[in-house]
Amino acid sequence: MLSKKEQNQIVLAIREAEKKTSGEIRVHISKLCKGDVLDCAATVFKKLEMHKTELRNGTLIYVSLKDRHLAIIGDTGINQVVSDDFWEETLDVMRSFFQQKKMVKGICQGIEKVGILLKHYFPYQEGDKNELPDDVSFDTSE
């Protein structure tokens, strides 16, 4: 679904964003989302155990390729502090790149935007540990 080079670009964007925050960012690529995209993303969020961060500050960027759906889900710690329209604004940025057939660039821009937000509310703290893997997860059976 993504080349090694494309996966590496996304991982580097995640690592760069997480250098400035105690928040955690994951990207999941699915072949197909059967049903509501937010429900699919919530299922993956739980499956990846993203709710197990100490500050409940994990964010999942979910991309369903075949049906071209996108979703971003933040854990309860994030959703308590962000504006209601933040996720939609971030999705709009990503969609603009996707429409230009620049999916990886769009994902990286989404990661950067989420990282800036997380830095504001969850700044990096001395001794911060990476609580979630930075790799891109895949599920072709959804």
CA distance 135 to 142: 19
Amino acid identity, position 39: D
pTM: 0.95
The one-digit pLDDT tens for each residue of the chain (142 residues) are 799 999 999 999 999 999 999 999 999 999 999 999 999 999 999 999 999 999 999 999 999 999 989 999 999 999 999 987 899 999 999 999 999 999 999 999 999 999 999 999 999 988 889 999 999 999 865 4
Q: Is 111 left (phi over 0), alpha (psi -120 to 50) or beta?
A: alpha
Length of the chain: 142
Amino acid identity, position 13: A
Other Cβ atoms within 10 Å of 103 Cβ, number: 18
Bridge partners, residue 33, by sequence: none
How many CA atoms, within 13 angstroms, populate the side-chain half-sphere of residue 74? Answer: 26
Structure-block tokens of residue 79: 């959703």
| DSSP-based three-state secondary structure for 62 | strand
| DSSP-based three-state secondary structure for 29 | strand
Domains and CATH numbers, the chain: 4-121 (3.10.310.50)
